[in-house]
Each structure stands twice: as C-alpha cells, then as structure tokens.
Amino acid sequence: MFTQLFGNFLLRKGVVTPEQLLSVIKAASTSHVKLGTLCMHAGLMSPAEVEKVYVMQTQVDKRFGEIAVDEGYLTASQVEELMENQGPHYLVLAQELAEQGILNHEEVERLLYDYQTETELFDLDMMEDHKAKLKKLVLNFCNFGDIRNADTAVAYLQLLFNNVIRFIGDDFTPMDLVPFQEYVTKVATSQAVSGEFTLCTAVEMDENTAVAFASRYAGEEFSEFNEYSIAALEDFLNLHNGLFVVNMSNTSSIELNLEAPMEISNDLYAPEGSTYLLPLAYTFGTVNFLITIYN
C-alpha cells in the first residue's frame, strides 16, 4: 500500500502525469530494485556516484557492486547486506522514473526523502509499528473531516486497499478521495452495510475495465462484457464487505448486517449521507469506488 500511495504523492506534487505514472507502474510490475537505487535509499552513495558507476558499467564488464567496491563507495559486506534486504517496494517506482527519463537521480532522491519525511517511513521494515504507520498514512490520505465514525471508515478503506491488491492486483495508484453528491454510472453495483456503523459502497467502471476486472478476479480470461462481468463486481463487493463485517465483530464486538448487492448501471447515483469518490487508476483502466458513510 505504501507503493500505491507513493504514486498518489507523485501526482499531488505534479512531477508526473497520470499517463507517465501508469507507464512507470506497468514497467515496475516486472522490475526489481537495482543496487544503485538501494545505495541511494540507504544513504551509502550519492546520485552522482551512482551515475558514475552506471557509466563505468558501459566501459567494463563488471557488476554494479563490484565497481562500487573497487571505487571505495561500498564494502563487500555492505553490498551483500543491500542485496539481501531489497528495501520497500516503492523504490521500484522511483527507479523507473529515472530509467524512463521522467526525472533524474537527484530529483528522485529528493522526492523519496520528501515522501518518507511526510509519511514517517524511515526504516519502516525494521519498525514494529508497521500497521500503525499504514493506518496513519491512510488516515492522512482519506481526510474524512468531521465524520463521526472516521476511525471505522479508515479501517474500511485499509481493508479495501488490501483486498483490491490481493484479489485484483497491485498495479494501481489511488487518486485523491473527493466528496460528491451525484454521479452518472456506467457499469456499477452497490451494497449496503447497516447497523451501528452504516455505509453503502458502489464499484463503477466502463465495460472494457469491467471485463479486465472480472478476468483478474475470476482468474480466467474474459473476452467480452456480459453477465459474468457484473457478477464479478458483485462478488468482489460482497467478499470485501463480508470480511469487513467479520472484522468488526471480531475486533470491536460490533455486529453489522450485510445487504444484497444491487446493480446500478447507467443510472444517476445520488445517495444521501457523506459520499466520496475514490478512483483507483489501474493499468487496465480506472476502477471507481463510491463510498457513502452515514453518521
């Protein structure tokens, strides 16, 4: 989730366009963190030193680590430690920004520092409060304002992020969460959860995106939009909300009711309550979640 929110951070800073970010995400899905990126992240080498080693690699048949040791930038033990600990996954996105020529290494290093400072992610992998950091990060991202059940809403979104990563894929960036009153849907389904905490969530997208979403969720390739696409949206929403209901019962002793999903395609969606639009920009299309929270 830290990787996805790093993408949102880049968009907010205006250093990439949505199209550039999607290109970076696609490339990052099949890439690994290079040693030079790890060195900059660990503060062991400057961007200029890393760039010098990259240039030297074009002149001599040696690995990055071998040259860095020869030049006195690293010790052999530091190389081994860096290779064993690959660092946080959002470094792959940062690396692709430089490799695609969108930013230079100095700009990437500065953005990484700013992101880690803003989110307090320094040495995250060695910290025991990983979940607390993630909760704070999601809370800052959400900005639910004066909603009475803001903590529960944040827990709901944390679970939503976990579930889309687990069942659909991690190649997305969440766009900013924005309030709205009316929304004209394309392909969409909604489901309500009622009780002490009441909300209604809809998932909405265009037909091509729905086909790709259904294919990923079902684990089989669909070639055209049909009833299976709608069924996949309904099933995902039912699975996610069902897990949320179970979690609330187990962790907070709050019993909630899960209502049946409803198709709301090609309709004017205007629920009462505090309603937010959360677009997830996937590499295959944008998946919109419309979340209404009732105080």
Where residue 212 sits, what CATH number does that domain have?
A: 3.40.1550.10
Total structural domains within the chain? 2
Q: Note the pLDDT tens digit of each residue in 263-284.
A: 999 999 999 888 999 999 999 9
| pTM of this structure | 0.75
- Whether residues 8 and 41 share a domain: the answer is yes
| 135 found inside a domain | no
| 118 found inside a domain | yes
Instruction: Output the pLDDT for position 115.
Output: 86
Q: What angle (nearest 5°) sits at the alpha carbon of residue 52, between those of residues 45 and 2?
A: 45
| 188 found inside a domain | yes
- Whether residues 88 and 154 share a domain: the answer is no
- Whether residues 167 and 117 share a domain: the answer is no
Domain boundary among 61, 91, 126: 126
CA nearest neighbour of 152 among 79, 43, 245, 45: 245
Instruction: Output the pLDDT for position 31.
Output: 79
- Whether residues 197 and 269 share a domain: the answer is yes
Maximum pairwise Cα distance, the chain: 67
- Whether residues 201 and 116 share a domain: the answer is no
Residue 119: give the domain boundaries. Answer: 2-126
Tokens 């080498």, residue located: 45
| 160 found inside a domain | yes
- Whether residues 210 and 289 share a domain: the answer is yes
- Whether residues 193 and 267 share a domain: the answer is yes
- Whether residues 171 and 266 share a domain: the answer is yes
| 132 found inside a domain | no
Instruction: Output the pLDDT for position 134.
Output: 65
The residues of the chain scoring below 70 in pLDDT are 120-137, 139-140, 143-146, 295
Whole-angstrom Cα distance, residue 168 to residue 289?
14
CA nearest neighbour of 215 among 229, 204, 202: 229
| 238 found inside a domain | yes
Domain boundary among 95, 126, 157: 126
Whole-angstrom Cα distance, residue 209 to residue 226?
12
- Whether residues 158 and 289 share a domain: the answer is yes
Q: Note the pLDDT tens digit of each residue in 114-172.
A: 888 877 655 444 344 556 656 666 766 776 666 777 788 888 998 999 899 889 998 99
| 136 found inside a domain | no
- Whether residues 55 and 159 share a domain: the answer is no
- Whether residues 152 and 193 share a domain: the answer is yes
- Whether residues 75 and 185 share a domain: the answer is no
| 47 found inside a domain | yes
